[in-house]
Structure formats: C-alpha cells, structure tokens
Amino acid sequence: MENEKSYSVFAGTQSKYLAEKICKSLGCPLGRMTTQHFADGEFAVSYEETIRGKDIFLVQSTFPSADNIMELLLMIDAAKRASAHYITAVIPYFGWARQDRKDKPRVSIAAKLMADLLSTAGVTRLITMDLHADQIQGFFDVPVDHLYASSVFMDHIKSNFDLQNLIIATPDVGGTKRASSYARHLGVPMVICHKTRLKANEVAEMRLIGKVDGKDVLLIDDIVDTAGTITKAADLMIKEGARSVRALASHAVMSDPATENIEKSSLTEMIFTDSIPYNKKSSKVKVLSVADLFALAIKRVSSHESISSLYTL
C-alpha cells in the first residue's frame, strides 16, 4: 500500500492496453487522465487527480503516428507544471530510433531530436526496451534503464523449442550482436544473412553465411516493419535445407503489407512482444506480454533498487 501512495502510473491513448496490464501486475489502479481533441487536430491532456510531490510513470510507445510522441510530450509538460516530484517516461518502443546517425549528407538524426524533446519537456528518467541501437542511450542527459525482451523470449524458447536441433540466425549483419547473445546463452550455433538494399524497406539481394541443413532455425530481430527482410530470410533458410523457420522480434511495427508477407512466407511462427499493439489477424503471429517486466522495473526504480537482475543477456 505504501508504494501505491508514492507513485502513480498513467498511460497515453495508444498504450493504455499495456499500461492496464502493468498496473494489474503492480496491483495499483491506472491513473486518471483525459485527452481532449479539438476540431483542428490539436489535443490537450490533463490529470484528473493530484500528482503534486509524486513520482509518476508515463507509459507511451512512440510508434506512428507522430501524435503519440506529441501526446507524451504534453503529458510530461503537464506533470511538470502540476509539481510532480519525478517524471519517468516508460517507452516500451522508442520510435524514430532507426535514424540514429548521418548515413548520408544533409539528413536529420531523429533519435537525438526525440531525446532532446523529451528532456526539454521535463522528463527525469527513461525506461525503454530493445533500442534499435544501444548508443541511443548516450543521446539522453537523464538516466536510461534499457530493458531487453530476451528475458521474456528466453522462457518461451526453452519451453517450446528443441535446443538440440536449434540454430540462431540474424536476418542482417546489423543484428549479429543481438543474435550472438541468444546463441551464446542457449549454447547453440548461429548463422548470418547478408543483405543489400536498393532503398529503404526493399531488399535487393540476400545471401546466407553458414549452414542450416536439417536444422530448426530461429531468426532474431528487434523491429519488423514491412516484414520484407525477415520473410526473405526465412524463405532463404528453407531453400538452404532448414527443417523449419520461426522468428522473434521485440517490436511489431507491422506496416502494410507485413501481415500478408508473413502469411505467405516460409515462417512457421512469428513472435512479438506487446510493446506495440498488434490488432490484425494472422495464424502465424504470437504475442508475448512484457507488462510484468516493466512492472518490476517500475517497482524497483520507485524503491531505488537495482534492476540489473532483469537483464537475461
């Protein structure tokens, strides 16, 4: 009961589904907040209970559209002006993270801009999960707790996969470190797909580095957008003699025609977390919840305890 008085959890419009699960795990009610929409597209947020002197946790993933990040900024600003003691943004999916560097002249670094906007609004801490690039933590001047979905995925893998015949794969070279961590933790081998792109979201060519003949392949990724890369990798694995191919990814961005691509592909199963709501129908998609993971992180942050034990890999 003491914790319930010292902190409160609030949710942005599109992440309320996850915040409700987090609050259920915490054993506390979801804070009351309203978002008023105006005819011209503007909106305003207001807290419907006192937060003066409280530590508050604002749950909102910043997936498209941009309204989600704007709503979070307004939530932070309103909390600051309502004299909240400590404002923690809980962002299960940190959007814009793929723009983390200048990969060609005259482009923005959107991930850094998002960090600056959150800091300027008044956030005092960030809890997030599986950033597209670990170095994005360095864009912030406030503490960042970077959780990993592997703590949820590992239990599922150990319960549902034959580790004796399992091989870990990464659909691109950029995910080698992530896939290598899974392979090392499970004690299984790993292969790599090397891809080249003509343009964003379009794979030109893909080649396999390693052998998968007769193996059950598990593809590891952080984000699935159009599902072009991961389904092409799955088809390649089958072509190279794999017995079966499944995939897991932390964030189900799933832009059209991602669901259709997955349904038509060689994938047996596609596993996501609920960091982003997946509202479409697919017989191949399975969603695991990260609510308990975030609830535990919130509980430990609020009581100034270490969260290092939450990291599986």
| Active-site residue set | 195
Q: How big is the chain by its Cα radius of gyration, in Å?
A: 20
Long-range contacts of 268-272 (CB under 8 A, 24+ apart): 268/244, 270/224, 270/227, 270/230, 270/246, 271/153, 271/156, 271/246, 271/247, 272/224, 272/248
Among 207, 188, 205, 187, smallest CA distance to 196 is for 205
Task: Quote the CA–CA distance of 80 and 103 in Å, as a whole number.
Answer: 36
Write the single-letter amino acid at 74.
Answer: L
First to last CA, the chain: 33
The encoded tokens of residue 53 equal: 């002197």
Query: Are the C-beta atoms of residues 36 and 47 closer than 8 Å to each other?
Result: no
Q: Which residues contact 102 (CB under 8 A, 6 or more apart)?
A: 109
Query: Are the C-beta atoms of residues 50 and 80 closer than 8 Å to each other?
Result: no
